[in-house]
Each structure stands twice: as structure tokens, then as C-alpha cells.
Structure 1
Amino acid sequence: MSHLRLYIILVIVMFVWGINLPAVKYLTTQMEPVTMTSFRLFLAAITVFAVLSFTGLIRKLTKTEWRYVIAGSALNVVIHHYFISVGLSLTSGTNAGLIIGTGPIMTAIFSLFLLRSKPSKLQWLGFILGLIGVTATVLAGNGAASSISTGDFYIFLAILGQVLSYMVISKASKTLDPRLLTAYMFLLGSAGLFLISLFREPGEWRMFGEMDSLFWLLVIASGIFGTAIGHMLYNYSVGEIGPTKAAIFINLNTLFALLGSAFFLGEVLTQAHLIGFVLVAFGVLFGSGAAEELWRMRVQSVKQ
């Protein structure tokens, strides 16, 4: 699959994740977050395994591959989702958005030291534009960031765990299909989160029997489309184009979430939001390497 097709897939995934955010926020108001998240991820694991069963990709893993699965589950599922769910309850949406916006640059830095992947100058420009765009967009909707809190530290740990998991996925993809890795990660990670929920949210699992049809509709849709298919495609892209290029698309999450809030919740978009949209768009174009690839294709077509 060409990189341009992967870029299109990543934009679609970010759109799905952005629209998925209001649904997840609603679900966390109906039920304690860790218990609900463990079920949603377990549903995602079943979905990914079901999809892969039709492609013949399911197989036994080697000892080395199991190490990658365990590391990825701990970082990408347990640590990331636990600290995100707890952190959001302790900090403002502004602070959380700004910290999440540092993810692509953190990914580039860790890729540089751990994977020896050196982004080009144009990609670094893209990371900076994306960060400025996310900052402008988030501050436009919330005024100003509040003081640093424990919740901010939790959000940082969540993003750090996610970024480090991309390094694991990139290394594992040399022998293990990232889609199968995703299935095993969700299965182990959901079990880990459920065990945590038994201590942090004792007895909350009984609430599943009291949920209405809207809750079940949203949790199933979120688990299948937002979590299962979204992460399966995203992790596959990480294995194909590397964590640095894939991570820059995360900035689109904020934009699509705002558009979803404007469409479904009637929130107002301002001129500052528009500026943020433009900066993030150019940030993704440069940071992903799409601009360089389009330029190479143009040069080749002219030579022919």
C-alpha cells in the first residue's frame, strides 16, 4: 500500500476518533471510567480477532513476540487508558488538550534516540506548526490553561505510555503483523484494566445490568469502530510508515472533535479555531512527509 493511501486512512481514523470522543465522554458520565473502558477494549479485542479470522492472520506467537505484546498492552492499553480516564477527571480540557498535542513531537524525539529515525527539517517544521495549531485551537475554546495539577501529570504519563508503545509496535512489526499485535494487546490490556477496576471501582461491573439502550448502542459502536478498527488501522500504519509520521496525524483528533462538538452539541467555532485548523493541516502535510512525497511524484512526472 502506498504511503499516500496510508495517509488517507490515517485522516479517516482521526475523523472516527474525533467523532468518538463525545460518545466516550457520555459513557464516562453513565459509568465509572475504568470499568467501562475495560469492557469497551474487550469488545474491541473480540472484534479485531473476528476480522483477522477471515484473513488468516491469526497464529501462535513466539516468545519474543509475546514480549512485545505484553509491553504494548502495558503501555498502549493499561497505562494509557487508565491515566487518561483518571487524568481527565482531575484536570481541565484545556490542559489535557495541550498535553496531548505534544504527542507527535515526543514521538519524533523518542524515535530519534530509540529507533535512530531522523525526521527531516520539513517534518520538524510540521511538528511545530501542528503543536501551535493545537494550542491555538484548544485555547480558543477554553480561554486559558489552568495551573498544573495531578491530573496534568496523569495525562502526561498517558501520552508517554502511548508514545513508547509506538516504539514497541514499530519494532514488533518486523515479524508480527501490527493488526494481530493490536488484537492481543487489547485482550491482555482489557483484562489488566478490569483487574484494576475491581480495586478502584469495586462492584461497578454490576452497573452493566442497569444501563439503557443508548449506553449499549454507544459502547458497542465505540468499541467496534472507534477502538477496534481505528486502532487496528492506526497500528498497521505505524508498522508501515513508522511512528514519527503516523503520530503527526494525532493533531487532527482535536480538530475533528471540535467539529463533532459543533455539529452534535451546537458549540460555536471562532476565527481562532479556523487559524488552528490551517496550522494543523499544514503541520500534518509537512510532518507526515506527504508534502515531500507529492513533490517527488510531481518531479518524476515532469521528467517522464
Structure 2
Amino acid sequence: MQLTPRLVLMLSTPPLMWACNAVVGRLAIDSIGPLWLNALRWVVAFALLLPLGWAALGTARARAQIRERWQVLAILGLIGVGAYNALQYMALRTSTPLNVTLIASSSPVWTLLIGALPYGAVPTRQQLAGAVLSLCGVALVLARGEPAALADVRLVQGDLLMLLAIIGWSFYSWMLARPPASMRGAARPAWNWAEFLVAQCVFGVAWAVGAVGLGELVVPTGPIQWSWQLAAAILFVAVGPSIIAYRLWGLAVGEAGPAMAAIFYNLTPLFAAILSAAVIGESPQAFHAVAFGLIVGGIFVSSRTRAQPPRPR
């Protein structure tokens, strides 16, 4: 596989958007509960997507196509829309940014493991080496240039929530790359990207809104503290990390494969470190450049060859 400038842009833009989502989300959860933030994010995103993807719902035949595939769409909606960011926002309430980002950066490991077990895609030595190299770069960022700081990591409830989120995201990536028979080839409806995301959001928004109701029963949150900043934050996370990032991620996973996409996902904490430094007024330091080199090196090593998953039958 050759990494063209177009493919690199598609693979690196979602991590940038998701880094912005982490920074904006951390600021927003002081004014709104994490489940509310996730639900409103996807309600707004769904409303913005409807004009682009209305064909997926606008006719009786289109709705029948969704009903026939409701199981896989419900799982995609649960993992990609309803759960991942809800778990991430919840994790930021009970865990530290260091732990949450460290666990999220393990995405390549989980993606390779899940690919090897349920999907039979045996990772190559280059992929494993690239994943390790990239993780070293992420660890350097998280330790702020002092690897001994990683020894102070302690798992708490939020860490386990983020671990569940990233494992689910790895399954989501493989489901996009290796869909079941009803979503593959001629059997797949002729959905464009917006229609496919609308089909997922039909179920994902229901999951997200339902989680708010259940969450309020179990652990009630205070009233939402509305402001223009919060409204702007919700609009941003609904457009950038949701619509734009999900569109590019779907294209990138389909073209580069989930294992390669997972390596690029490791750019997220690097972008987050730079954005966080900008927000609090700190300039990037030398270890940021070293970490970037390690992450890019991991991407290059992994791109030289990739796992050979079984061909669809």
C-alpha cells in the first residue's frame, strides 16, 4: 500500500478533529453532563445530515432496506454513535487526561488483536513493529518527555470506561472494513456516505438519547448551564468530529485498512497535546517533535506491508 498525500490527509484529519473533540469536550462537561453532551451532539449531527442522506429514509423501499439490516446497523450505531464518545466524556469525569489518552492510544494493539481473532487477519512483523514504535511516541507525549511519569498511572473507573470505548471502536473499524454479507457487494444498498451515516444515526441517536434517560435515573446530573460557548461547542462536535471525521474515517478505513488507520489514530494524543498547550498558553516542547517522529516512523513501517485478511466469500 502506498501512502499518497490524499490518503495521508484522509487518515490524519479525523485524529485532528477528535483531538479537538477531547479538548472541547473536557471544557464542555463542566456545563453539561457527558451523556447529554453526546446525545445533543448526535441529534444536531443527525439533523444536519438529513438533507444529505434523506434518500436512506425517504421511501418505503429505503426504510425496508434499513429494517432488513437493522442488526448490523444497530451495532454500528451503538458503537460508533451511541457509546464511544459517551464513554469518553464520562471517563474525563472520573479519570485523568493522561490515563484516558494513554488507553485510547492502545487502539492499534486492540485493532490488530481483534483482526487476528474474529477476522483471521494475522498482523505482519512490520505492523507489530509500527504499532510499538507509534505507541512509544504517544507514551513520550503523555509522559511530557519524562518516561518515569508513566509509572504513576493507576487504573480507576474512568480508565475502564475508556478501555471499553477503544475496544468497541476497534470492532467498529473492522465492521466497516469487513462487513457482513448483507452490507457487502451487490447486497449492500446503494447508499452514499451521508445515507450510510444517516442509517447508522437512526439507531445511534436512539441509543444516545436512551442512555441519557437511563443515566439520569441512575446518576442524576445538574441542570445544563447554557451559554453561547456551550452552544458553539455542541455545534462544533456535531460537525467536525462527527460528520467530517466520520466521513473521512470511513473512506480511509476502506482504502488503507483498519490496522493502518489505527496507527494514524495515534496522532490524536499528539494533536491533543499541542492543542491543550495552546489553550493554556504553553508552547510545544522538544519532546513533541521527537514523539511526532516516532509516530510518523510507526506509520511508515506499518505501511510497507499489511495483514492479509481472508477475502469475503
Give the TM-score band, short-chain normalised: 0.7 to 0.9
- Aligned pairs for 1:223-238 (under 5 A) are 223-238=238-253
Match for residue 235 of structure 2 among 214, 220, 225: 220
Tell me by how many angstroms 1:40 deviates.
0.3
Q: Please state if 1:167 is matched with 2:177.
A: no
Identity of aligned residues (%): 20
Aligned-partner SS, 2:144:
helix
Per-residue CA distance 1:232-255 (angstroms, 9 max, x = gap): 221232233321121211101111
Per-residue CA distance 1:197-229 (angstroms, 9 max, x = gap): 12323686963xx51112112211221122122
For the aligned residue pairs, the C-alpha RMSD in angstroms reads 2.7
Hey, what does 1:267 align to over in structure 2?
Answer: 282
Hey, what does 2:141 align to over in structure 1?
Answer: 137
Match for residue 112 of structure 1 among 106, 110, 116: 116
Cα distance in 1, alignment partners of residues 247 and 46 from structure 2: 10
Hey, what does 2:310 align to over in structure 1?
Answer: none
AA at the equivalent of 2:51: A
Cα distance in 2, alignment partners of residues 169 and 240 from structure 1: 11
Cα distance in 2, alignment partners of residues 178 and 150 from structure 1: 39
Cα distance in 2, alignment partners of residues 226 and 139 from structure 1: 26
Cα distance in 1, alignment partners of residues 192 and 280 from structure 2: 35
Q: Please state if 1:197 is matched with 2:204.
A: no
Cα distance in 2, alignment partners of residues 285 and 50 from structure 1: 39
Gap change, CA 1:246 and 1:64, over 3 Å in 2:
farther
| Aligned partners of 1:182 and 1:235 also within 8 Å | no
Gap change, CA 1:109 and 1:178, over 3 Å in 2:
farther
Give the structure with the higher percent helix: 1
Tell me by how many angstroms 1:178 deviates.
7.7
Cα distance in 1, alignment partners of residues 66 and 210 from structure 2: 26
Count of paired positions: 286
Gap change, CA 1:178 and 1:33, over 3 Å in 2:
farther
Tell me by how many angstroms 1:68 deviates.
1.3
AA at the equivalent of 1:167: W
Match for residue 260 of structure 2 among 233, 245, 256: 245
Gap change, CA 1:284 and 1:72, over 3 Å in 2:
same
Cα distance in 2, alignment partners of residues 197 and 243 from structure 1: 30
Hey, what does 2:293 align to over in structure 1?
Answer: 278
| Aligned partners of 1:48 and 1:229 also within 8 Å | no
Q: Please state if 1:148 is matched with 2:155.
A: yes
Cα distance in 2, alignment partners of residues 206 and 29 from structure 1: 11
AA at the equivalent of 1:166: S
Tell me by how many angstroms 1:141 deviates.
7.1
| Aligned partners of 1:133 and 1:280 also within 8 Å | yes
| Aligned partners of 2:73 and 2:199 also within 8 Å | yes
Aligned-partner SS, 1:188:
helix
